[in-house]
Structure 1
Amino acid sequence: MKFSIVITTYNRLPLLRRAVESALAQTWPCEVVVADDCSDDGTQEYISSLGDRVVYQRNSVNLGHSATLNAGVSAARGQWIKPLDDDDYLAPNCIEEMSRAIAKRPQAVLCSCQAIQVDDSGSEITRTQSSGPGKSFYVPQEDIHYGMLMEVVPFGTPVQVAFQRDAFIKSGGWDSALDTNCDDIDSWVRIAQYGDAVFLNDYLAYRTLWPGGYNKKFSLEKRLDTSILIKDRIYKLVSENHRSSLPALEDIHGYLKLHWSVVSLKQRKPATALAMAYPAMFSLTAWKYLAIAVFSRKVNHKAHCIRQEVIEQEMVLIAPKAPALAKC
């Protein structure tokens, strides 16, 4: 199978160099595409200096992150796409390990690995939590949306995820209406309609946490609204096999409101927290789900709410029978 790494960029040349170098240093042969949202900082000259090592897709005007990713995928020729924001970068064996795992599960349309979060100087801050006892495992298609709704299927940010190009195109691509505010998660939700998901417990990606990150420009209220929108979209796609164990949609909304109100309190915004929490603060069910989420961060919640079965050294995760909400 052929992989294309699609790097989206806009006026971040110093960071882009690191992302491109990590893509060109892969131990598995792959195409590298840079999708440029009409930068004016020397990006075009830099990419031109790399010759035919990189495919260059440049927007004629600034279109935004989602549209730029879509344009990059259109220019790519790989069967699988590894998206990469310009401020993130990959371990040298990222594509190699993903390719091997996908080959063992040809029904897959999504693949996700673990990531190391770093600051703008490259120093490690934290790591994503391992999500299963095996090196790799898969989640069958019919269980993915229920797992995403209950937050026990561990999809990550773009630096962690790769997707099958055909499934991406069928899904309609990234939604420009969301543009950097959960446009990635929304895409995973829609791509997951077309096949299984493969997960690796290897740390193969580096995500930069810094003040210039795209997610920093959205208010907490906006992030809450988008979280609710995404949950609503997932809810509609849950397989009939899991409909009988679905919590009420308003309880999921209540949990999200309490979660983001806690985030507001941590940021010392009590008025925002109160506005978000009302009227969910009066729901015992919403508080129950919040308590489960807090507790789950202290233990391996996957082991408590997902049955596991070893198949040829791969882990098959079957969605939980009982509701469980936990932030991954």
Structure 2
Amino acid sequence: MKFSIVITTYNRLSLLQRAVESALNQTVPCEVVIADNASTDGTEAYVHSLGDRVEYRRNPSNLNHAGAVNAGVEAASGDWIKLVDDDDYLAPHCIETLMGAIAQHPQAVICSCQAAQVDTAGQELSRTPITGPGKAFYIPQAAIHYGMLLEQVPFGTPIQVAVQREALIQSGGWDLTMTSCDDIDSWTRVAELGDALFVNECLGYRTVWPGGYDQKIDLQQRLNTNLLIKTRIYERIHPTYRSQIPSLSAIQKYLQLHWGLVAVKQRQFSQAIAVALPAMISFPAWKQLYQARKQRNYQGSPSAVPKIALF
């Protein structure tokens, strides 16, 4: 099994250096690919100074995050791809641990792990919760989208996820038309091709920025994108679980409540009313919101999704 670490970057040289060092210092050797969205800050010279320790793919223009991911995957030669954004970094034993888990369940095409959220000074703010039994477990393919719909299968952001390269390519790569949630959209399609694997160990570090990109997107647009993703997941639910899921209308109203509460937290009260009002009298929507909040706040909570321990 060969791993390629694909690091996407654009004009963040100091952060990129930290990400590259974490990739080159893995406890097992792996290919390191840097996908550069036409940086103008000295990134290209830095990468060339690394010689043959890395593979370099420079896009002729900024193709946004999805375009950089696709370029990096195309340049990679590993059986598995570990994605890293330039402001994130890996624990030294990340790849070794993932390889050990995948070897126990080669039917998997996607593997997620815990990650720590850190501030710009590198101080840990929070950590993604334990999501199932044992140090590692898998979810059969037929149950993945059901679990994603009910938010009991949290694949997470790129720093948490590794993907089988063949499955990523077969699923069509990352969608260049997505303005956000391009990662979740990709996981949704990859998950049609095999089982999902989870490692309950912190193997990556994700930088949380004040006023980050997602926070600048209009709440209505974020709601619309969230609903688009949920609809794509809904369409992929295995027949085994069709009778157990809420209606798409109930899902939509639940999302309206969720984003209404986000608007309240941000003190955008008029937008909160506009977003949440259509769902305020929907009991199924409130029930779904309660269940989602309970799932997020209770580590190791029981689930209708089969989670099978490996070790």
Alignment correspondent of 1:83: 83
Alignment correspondent of 1:284: 283
Q: Is the 8 A contact 2:143 2:305 kept in 1?
A: no
Alignment correspondent of 1:37: 37
Q: Distance in 1 between matches of 2:306 and 2:27?
A: 35
| Post-superposition CA distance 1:4-45 (Å, at most 9, x none) | 000000001111111000000111110000000000000000
Q: Is the 8 A contact 2:157 2:183 kept in 1?
A: yes
**2:100 aligned partner, one-letter code:** R
Alignment correspondent of 1:192: 191
| Post-superposition CA distance 1:55-75 (Å, at most 9, x none) | 110011111110111011000
Q: Distance in 2 between matches of 1:98 and 1:305?
A: 25
Q: CA deviation at 1:300?
A: 3.3
Q: Distance in 2 between matches of 1:218 and 1:78?
A: 35
Distance 1:58 1:92, change over 3 A: same
Q: Secondary structure at the match of 2:191?
A: helix
Q: Distance in 2 between matches of 1:74 and 1:246?
A: 37
> Is 1:135 matched up with 2:130?
no
Alignment correspondent of 2:66: 66
Q: CA deviation at 1:132?
A: 1.5
Alignment correspondent of 1:262: 261
Q: Distance in 1 between matches of 2:95 and 2:307?
A: 26
Q: Secondary structure at the match of 2:27?
A: coil
Alignment correspondent of 1:325: none
Q: Is the 8 A contact 1:119 1:208 kept in 2?
A: yes
Q: Distance in 1 between matches of 2:212 and 2:76?
A: 25
Q: Structure 1-normalised TM-score? A: 0.92
Q: Is the 8 A contact 2:11 2:43 kept in 1?
A: yes
Alignment correspondent of 2:107: 107
Alignment correspondent of 2:295: 296
Q: Secondary structure at the match of 1:48?
A: helix
Alignment correspondent of 1:161: 161
Q: Structure 2-normalised TM-score? A: 0.97
Alignment correspondent of 1:152: 152
Alignment correspondent of 2:126: 126
Q: Is the 8 A contact 1:152 1:302 kept in 2?
A: no
How many matched pairs?
A: 311
Q: Output aligned runs, 1:236-255, within 5 Å.
A: 236-255=235-254
**1:287 aligned partner, one-letter code:** W
Q: CA deviation at 1:304?
A: 4.8
Q: CA deviation at 1:258?
A: 0.3
Q: Is the 8 A contact 2:66 2:174 kept in 1?
A: yes
Alignment correspondent of 2:227: 228
Alignment correspondent of 2:5: 5
Q: CA deviation at 1:299?
A: 2.4
Alignment correspondent of 1:319: none
**1:48 aligned partner, one-letter code:** H
Q: Distance in 2 between matches of 1:193 and 1:309?
A: 18
Q: Distance in 1 between matches of 2:304 and 2:147?
A: 10
Q: Which runs of 5+ in 2 are unaligned?
A: none
Higher deviation after alignment, 72-81 or 299-308: 299-308
| Post-superposition CA distance 1:276-315 (Å, at most 9, x none) | 11211121111111122233344236325445555xx44x
Q: Is the 8 A contact 1:118 1:209 kept in 2?
A: yes
| Post-superposition CA distance 1:70-101 (Å, at most 9, x none) | 01100000010001100000000000000110
**1:291 aligned partner, one-letter code:** Y
Q: Which runs of 5+ in 1 are unaligned?
A: 315-328
Distance 1:62 1:24, change over 3 A: same
Higher deviation after alignment, 292-301 or 21-30: 292-301
Q: Secondary structure at the match of 1:130?
A: coil
